[in-house]
Structure 1
């Protein structure tokens, strides 16, 4: 078999990872750098992060084999106009990097981070990925190549079931309880203790004056999980709502893509799934009730590995088509 080296890149909002993989699915080298969601950090920062991660992966590999394929799963790339922007700066990266390339038309792949999360998590392009970290997004693909995405609208417009959504509901419930508009809850004292506040009114200074962003707020989700574990009714209601939202979105993806008899996997990715002992099992029961053939699993690989798998498949598809065409030519 011809030796093949491909690059997989996971470009996220906080970090960028790259791996160099060979035709035997072995990781030869890896690299890590800063954020590369061009929507939030700009094109130049995104380019520099991707370049840095690629250079590290190639240098660390000590391989001198040309790169035959590259797949970039990028956060912030979901609409047609996003792909146009990304294709332009990715081409600049490929042109400028002092690396041996052996790329063909269909062996440079740009896709969303949900695509590589699915392939990495399951090890295959068919199935469903339920991402619940700071935000939330559900994405699936079936055997016919049809895809469906639900959620991922960002913390202001959606992301139900994500860490930010859970935390902000917890904070709002604590303040409502303090006002007398909500049932009594331990969340008031829980937040005070965790944040070192004299009283719950101190949230104003932390959230507004310190300019907390979505990720900062999401770090408070474990406080809501802990209160729910202690049978706080207000916190439990928030957590149950999160499960219902994630289940509802996942069911839409499943019903769109799969027939009742089809066997497929649903992979759960993100910090929220480990936030509370029964959280994932409640979700799993909800999915099994409507799709008994679905199996809920933990991720088998990281998203960056999924990107490399997609790049390798693209190269192998091109090579196999070349072999078929060659055999047709020689047979005449």
Structure 2
């Protein structure tokens, strides 16, 4: 111990954390995986304490004790003020000489591009979009849900499906097969029974996320209401991408627009087709791709960007993670 690596890369999401220790030549010399990173629920101190265990194991595997640069892409770092608070907390741990904290969506974007240039829209439990240019300019959104004007994400889609299905069953809304397929998923006979089960917590609230795939399956079966929800999501994805491209003066340039997160990488044909069709009209120079690389790769590449690593180092990191 006592030796120093070039980059400590951290990708900390809500459900898991990946850490990689990278040497100056791009060799990944240590890795570790830990649990989720949830400062809003646990507090910054306890969340960083949990992160420390994963970092310690990665450093032990690498045989080093610090890095020149800590590149941390963290869930729930949605505002610059939150990034600053988390950066201070990580710097206090003395894991590296310099610390940079970004929202974890930046890791997904950087993992999918050969240089720090492009836009990524990520739709998992929630929805977010970021963009970057090599000169350091970025575009981002608060991504705090309806409070910050967001619509979409797996949780939001489930809520929308429940709303339409409830109104269809009692006559306030248009008929939709969702009134049957949503309760069927849980083995319940009616939407009323599903509403009661969720309200009285006979079904854990977290199980609502299971309904987004049911929505997509119902849309694929031809249901008009379900299709309209999917189409609205496609437009939200495209709108976020176009706004980010515009802010970065990239709308008229050939630029990667990458799609990530469970909803956008699941291969939902109608959603995929609508996103590509709309982007072709509103951002015809966008080059659409899907990011399936591990986000910790992006955190490592961002760190190598910051320390001025040679292109060979970037390639070596990509080779390690199998891309």
TM-score above 0.5 = yes
Q: Which residue of 2 aligns with 1:320?
A: none
1:28 matched to 2:29? The reply is yes
Aligned length: 305
User: In the aligned structure 2, how far is the partner of 1:232 from the partner of 1:47?
Assistant: 46
User: In the aligned structure 1, how far is the partner of 2:306 from the partner of 2:148?
Assistant: 35
User: In the aligned structure 1, how far is the partner of 2:7 from the partner of 2:224?
Assistant: 51
Q: TM-score, length-normalised on structure 2?
A: 0.85
Q: Which residue of 1 aligns with 2:99?
A: 108
Could you tell which deviates more after superposition, 239-248 or 50-59?
50-59
Deviations, residues 153-182 of structure 1 (Å, cap 9, x unaligned): 226654423111211111111100001122
Residue of structure 1 aligned with 2:170, choices 167, 170, 179: 179
Give matches, 1:254-293, under 5 Å.
Answer: 254-273=245-264, 274=266, 276-293=268-285
3-state SS, counterpart of residue 141 of structure 2: strand
Q: Which residue of 1 aligns with 2:93?
A: 93
Contact 1:5/1:65 (8 A) holds in 2: no
Q: For the aligned residues, what is the CA RMSD?
A: 2.4
1:54 matched to 2:55? The reply is yes
Q: Which residue of 1 aligns with 2:18?
A: 17
Q: Which residue of 1 aligns with 2:318?
A: none
Deviation, 1:229, is 0.2
Give matches, 1:56-205, under 5 Å.
Answer: 56-61=57-62, 63-64=63-64, 66-94=66-94, 103-104=96-97, 107-150=98-141, 152-154=143-145, 158-205=149-196
Gaps of 5+ in 2: 310-323
Could you tell which deviates more after superposition, 218-227 or 179-188?
179-188
Deviation, 1:92, is 3.1
Could you tell which deviates more after superposition, 64-73 or 241-250?
64-73
Could you tell which deviates more after superposition, 219-228 or 3-12?
3-12
Q: TM-score, length-normalised on structure 1?
A: 0.83
3-state SS, counterpart of residue 220 of structure 1: helix
Deviation, 1:151, is 5.7
> CA distance change for structure 1 residues 58 and 307 in 2, over 3 Å: closer, same or farther?
same
Deviation, 1:259, is 4.1
User: In the aligned structure 1, how far is the partner of 2:134 from the partner of 2:103?
Assistant: 19
Gaps of 5+ in 1: 95-100, 318-332
Deviation, 1:212, is 4.7
Deviation, 1:113, is 1.4
Deviation, 1:4, is 4.7
User: In the aligned structure 2, how far is the partner of 1:67 from the partner of 1:144?
Assistant: 24
User: In the aligned structure 2, how far is the partner of 1:155 from the partner of 1:40?
Assistant: 19
